[in-house]
């Protein structure tokens, strides 16, 4: 009997010591999107969430945690229990730039990167009635009228704001930023005639372009976009401004390696799956897969580059 009791105790202790993630996942997974429904990050989160459901054979619940340019959601991801049951979308440059500007409740070291999945190039655009026909038109006017050209952005330190600062630096001009809470109100500001120019991702501005309500003055990609072939790059027009918005997935630091391996494999497979690629194409999501190591290097690159831009802005 004693031997039987000892055997039972040993088995119980072994079961207690067995990692909780050994059967991961055995319940629903929460995927945090740090922005409101309807935007590019939300579209990506819901698309990859459905794919992960099939791979993980558990529900993936999308939880929108908008606010502060993504900081509320980033913090929720970083501070979640590192067991693989809470993951989320992180967007760059937002996630790397905010800690450069002010104290934040998260650190980059608190994320275990899964992969980058989408990269959105952006554009400066104006209303169709605007007298500005090209970026040199804007630059010439801004040089003669410092500060008079208003530019819509999605907030202090956001990608649109940083791109505007980069244009100021490269072109030697002074613009005036007008901050909005998101891409939708920024677009409305242009359409209502409240702004001279705005910066949005090509995906966010695609509908207005198709409707003929706006005109793209330049895209901030290395080469012209297939979706807007008539819009020249800023580089073509003499301004070395190249920026984009990366959207990837991360878990809290400390998440077990075998869980991360499963998630990383699933996202890698999604990026090559014809059905997922078709969904991404239909929703206007430009896929740009980077594994977690390449993603980490890219975030470090962005951190270094935007640190210079932000320091120059603050020193003015």
- pLDDT tens per residue across span 147-173: 999 999 987 778 888 899 999 999 999
- Looking at residue 13, its pLDDT comes to 38
Q: Cα Rg for the chain, rounded, in angstroms?
A: 23
Q: Position of tokens 């202090």?
A: 156
- Looking at residue 201, its pLDDT comes to 85
Q: Residue 1: pLDDT above 70?
A: no
Sign of CA dihedral 50, 55, 59, 64: negative
- Looking at residue 5, its pLDDT comes to 36
Q: Which residue, among 121, 156, 152, has the nearest Cα to 40 in the 3D structure?
A: 121
- The stretch 220-239 carries a mean pLDDT of 91
- Looking at residue 17, its pLDDT comes to 37
Q: Residue 3: pLDDT above 60?
A: no
Q: Which residue, among 93, 87, 127, has the nearest Cα to 111 in the 3D structure?
A: 87
Reported confidence tier of residue 313, pLDDT bands at 50, 70, 90: low
Q: Residue 16: pLDDT above 70?
A: no
- Looking at residue 14, its pLDDT comes to 38
Distance CA 71, CA 90 (A): 10
Q: Residue 11: pLDDT above 60?
A: no
Reported confidence tier of residue 22, pLDDT bands at 50, 70, 90: low
């Amino acid at each position: 009997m004693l031997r039987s009791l000892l055997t039972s105790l040993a088995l119980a202790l072994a079961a207690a010591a067995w990692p909780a993630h050994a059967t991961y996942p055995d319940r629903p997974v929460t995927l945090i999107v740090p922005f409101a429904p309807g935007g590019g990050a939300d579209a990506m989160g819901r698309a990859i969430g459905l794919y992960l459901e099939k791979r993980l054979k558990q529900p993936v619940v999308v939880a929108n945690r908008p606010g502060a340019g993504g900081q509320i959601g980033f913090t929720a991801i970083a501070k979640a229990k590192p067991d693989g049951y809470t993951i989320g979308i992180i967007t760059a440059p937002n996630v790397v730039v905010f800690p450069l500007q002010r104290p934040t409740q998260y650190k980059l070291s608190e994320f275990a990167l899964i992969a980058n999945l989408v990269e959105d190039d952006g554009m400066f655009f104006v209303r169709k009635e605007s007298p500005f026909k090209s970026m040199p038109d804007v630059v010439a006017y801004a040089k003669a009228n410092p500060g008079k050209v208003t530019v819509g952005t999605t907030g202090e330190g956001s990608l649109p704001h940083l791109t505007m600062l980069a244009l100021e630096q490269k072109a030697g001009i002074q613009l005036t930023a007008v901050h909005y809470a998101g891409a939708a109100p920024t677009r409305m500001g242009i359409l209502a005639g409240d702004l001279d120019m705005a910066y949005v991702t090509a995906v966010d501005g695609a509908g207005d372009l198709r409707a003929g309500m706006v005109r793209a003055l330049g895209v901030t990609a290395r080469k012209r976009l297939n979706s807007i072939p008539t819009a020249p790059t800023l580089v073509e027009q003499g301004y070395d401004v190249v920026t984009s918005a990366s959207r990837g997935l991360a878990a809290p630091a400390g998440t077990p390696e075998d869980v991360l391996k499963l998630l990383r494999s699933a996202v890698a497979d999604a990026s090559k799956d014809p059905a997922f690629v078709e969904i991404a194409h239909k929703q206007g999501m430009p896929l740009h897969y980077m594994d977690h190591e390449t993603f980490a290097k890219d975030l470090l690159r962005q951190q270094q580059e935007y640190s210079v831009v932000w320091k120059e802005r603050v020193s003015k």
